[in-house]
């Protein structure tokens, strides 16, 4: 008997909690109660001033970044908030509720919406979550989940030490000057749940600007809000897998100058230089699979080209010294060691200076 009593109490408590939860969840707005559709569908009255719409994104995922196509993938929730007291009066004039919800897919047929569009969208899916919440105090919240691909102005010239700013730009579908888009601070909260394996997040910011839309017949400026996420690439992989090995191959190729040219035994030296040259060429082709395919040269491309040139010069100089020693043994034989040393120092110094110019151009 005691067991049945305990079971009954548990069922009663669970039912009570369920009823409490259901009462706390906002009800659906009674769209049939909209007696003044002109007010509901009109721009909110702000005494002649533009309507301020506050935007708060919350990112779920950002990336990957496609350097070949100059685009990136983003998955985030976007909450837009504005004041529309006339709409709140319609829904809550004879109601004791504090809020109600409208399916975002049909909201545009019944109430005014800012119709936010993404300027740099390539493809966007917006219907995974799309809800309007009308509050009795006049605040309207539109929350939706955005999953899409956006174009990006990427610059890989300093690859793999590059920094990129991923930008998502929004503009309202409303009359010119009637809406101002603002961000909700702090911006760092927008991306606090993000983590990257090959990028380091530097800064998250929002900026309100204007975008000039024009055609042959008209020109208009619309309020624009930019969501900016600045990233810095983590170069560890490229340093260990690409640049480091090539750099040491060049040093080994330069070390072939340490073989005494006066002994007239050029075969080991030439074999070492040619082997390292071919290794650098093969390694460059293999490493190309991990490098972005671009129409311009990056710092890494210049580094690989410089490394190839130095290794090639090691082969050319070795062949030149060999020819010089064989054809003019009496005239230049005593100077070959000095020539060999000076060319080695010149190539090594040129390689270091060239890398300095490539990686530190501003200095």
| Exposed / middle / buried, residue 312 (Cβ in 10 Å: 0-12, 13-18, 19+) | middle
User: How much is the pLDDT for 25?
Assistant: 56
Q: Give domain status of residue 230, yes or no.
A: yes
Within 10 angstroms of residue 56's Cβ, the number of other Cβ atoms is: 19
CA angle 271, 276, 281 (to 5 degrees): 130
Sign of the torsion angle spanned by Cα atoms 274, 276, 280, 283: positive
| pLDDT < 70: residue spans in the chain | 1-26, 126-127, 175-177, 213-219, 261-265, 328-334, 362-363
| Exposed / middle / buried, residue 227 (Cβ in 10 Å: 0-12, 13-18, 19+) | buried
Q: Please tell me the number of Cα atoms within 13 Å of 137 on its side-chain side.
A: 4
Q: Are 324 and 336 in contact (CB under 8 A)?
A: yes
User: How much is the pLDDT for 197?
Assistant: 82
- 51 plus 197 within the same structural domain: yes
- 156 plus 206 within the same structural domain: yes
- 223 plus 247 within the same structural domain: no
User: How much is the pLDDT for 331?
Assistant: 60
User: How much is the pLDDT for 8?
Assistant: 47
Q: Are 250 and 279 in contact (CB under 8 A)?
A: no
How far apart are the C-alpha atoms of 314 and 347, rounded to whole Å? Answer: 9
- 62 plus 195 within the same structural domain: yes
Per the structure, the count of domains in the chain is 2
CATH of the domain at 325: 1.20.58.390
Q: Give domain status of residue 331, yes or no.
A: yes
| Exposed / middle / buried, residue 210 (Cβ in 10 Å: 0-12, 13-18, 19+) | middle
Q: Give domain status of residue 10, yes or no.
A: no
Q: Which of 234, 269, 303 is the last residue of a domain?
A: 234
Strand partners, 334: none
Q: pLDDT, tens digit, for every residue of 346-357?
A: 999 999 999 999
Given phi > 0 = left and psi -120 to 50 = alpha, else beta, which region is 333?
A: alpha
- 149 plus 191 within the same structural domain: yes
- 203 plus 118 within the same structural domain: yes
Block residue for tokens 């004041």: 83
Given phi > 0 = left and psi -120 to 50 = alpha, else beta, which region is 236?
A: alpha
How far apart are the C-alpha atoms of 97 and 77, rounded to whole Å? Answer: 26
Q: Give domain status of residue 2, yes or no.
A: no
User: How much is the pLDDT for 82?
Assistant: 93
Q: pLDDT, tens digit, for every residue of 186-199?
A: 888 889 888 888 89
Sign of the torsion angle spanned by Cα atoms 144, 149, 154, 160: positive
3-state secondary structure of 184: coil
User: How much is the pLDDT for 41?
Assistant: 82
**H or E stretch at 182:** strand 179-183
- 176 plus 324 within the same structural domain: no
- 57 plus 195 within the same structural domain: yes
Residues 6+ apart with CB under 8 A from 50: 177, 178, 179, 180, 223
Within 10 angstroms of residue 27's Cβ, the number of other Cβ atoms is: 13
Block residue for tokens 């979550």: 129
Number of H helices, E strands in the chain: 10, 12
Cα 19 to its chain centre, rounded Å, is: 45
Q: Give domain status of residue 261, yes or no.
A: yes
User: How much is the pLDDT for 15?
Assistant: 46
Q: Which of 185, 219, 234 is the last residue of a domain?
A: 234
User: How much is the pLDDT for 230?
Assistant: 94
Q: Are 254 and 240 in contact (CB under 8 A)?
A: no
Q: Give domain status of residue 12, yes or no.
A: no
- 171 plus 63 within the same structural domain: yes
Q: Give domain status of residue 276, yes or no.
A: yes
Residue 188 lies in domain = 23-234
Residue by residue, DSSP assigns 257-301 as GGS-GGG---HHHHHHHHHHHHHHHHHHHHHGGGS---SS--HHH
């Amino acid at each position: 008997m005691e067991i049945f009593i305990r079971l009954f109490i548990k069922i009663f408590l669970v039912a009570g909690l369920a009823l409490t939860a259901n009462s706390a969840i906002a009800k659906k707005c009674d769209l049939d109660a909209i007696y003044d559709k002109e007010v509901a569908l009109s721009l909110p009255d702000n005494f002649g001033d533009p309507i301020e719409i506050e935007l708060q994104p919350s990112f779920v995922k950002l990336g990957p970044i496609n350097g070949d196509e100059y685009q990136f993938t983003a998955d985030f929730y976007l909450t837009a908030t504005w004041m529309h007291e006339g709409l709140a009066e319609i829904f809550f004039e004879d109601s004791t509720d504090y809020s109600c919800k409208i399916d975002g897919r049909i909201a545009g047929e019944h109430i005014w919406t800012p119709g936010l569009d993404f300027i740099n969208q390539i493809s966007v899916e917006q219907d995974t979550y799309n809800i309007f919440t009308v509050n009795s105090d006049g605040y309207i919240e539109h929350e939706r989940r955005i999953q899409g691909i956006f174009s990006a102005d990427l610059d890989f010239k300093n690859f793999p030490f590059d920094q990129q700013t991923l930008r998502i730009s929004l503009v309202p579908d409303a009359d010119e000057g009637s809406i101002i888009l603002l961000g909700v601070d702090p911006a760092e909260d927008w991306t606090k749940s993000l983590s990257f394996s090959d990028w380091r997040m530097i800064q998250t910011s929002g900026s309100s600007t204007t975008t000039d839309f024009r055609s042959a017949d008209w020109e208009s400026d619309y309020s624009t809000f930019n969501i900016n996420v600045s990233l810095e690439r983590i170069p560890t992989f490229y340093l260990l897998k690409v640049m480091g090995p090539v750099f040491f191959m060049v040093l080994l190729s330069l070390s072939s100058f340490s073989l005494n040219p006066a002994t007239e035994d050029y075969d080991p030296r030439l074999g070492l230089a040619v082997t390292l040259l071919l290794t650098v060429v093969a390694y460059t082709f293999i490493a190309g699979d991990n490098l972005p395919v671009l129409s311009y040269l990056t710092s890494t491309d210049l580094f690989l080209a410089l490394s190839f040139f130095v290794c090639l010069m090691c082969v050319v100089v070795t062949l030149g010294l060999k020819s010089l020693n064989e054809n003019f043994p009496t005239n230049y034989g005593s100077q070959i060691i000095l020539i060999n040393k000076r060319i080695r120092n010149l190539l090594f110094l040129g390689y270091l200076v060239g890398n300095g110019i490539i990686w530190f151009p501003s200095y």
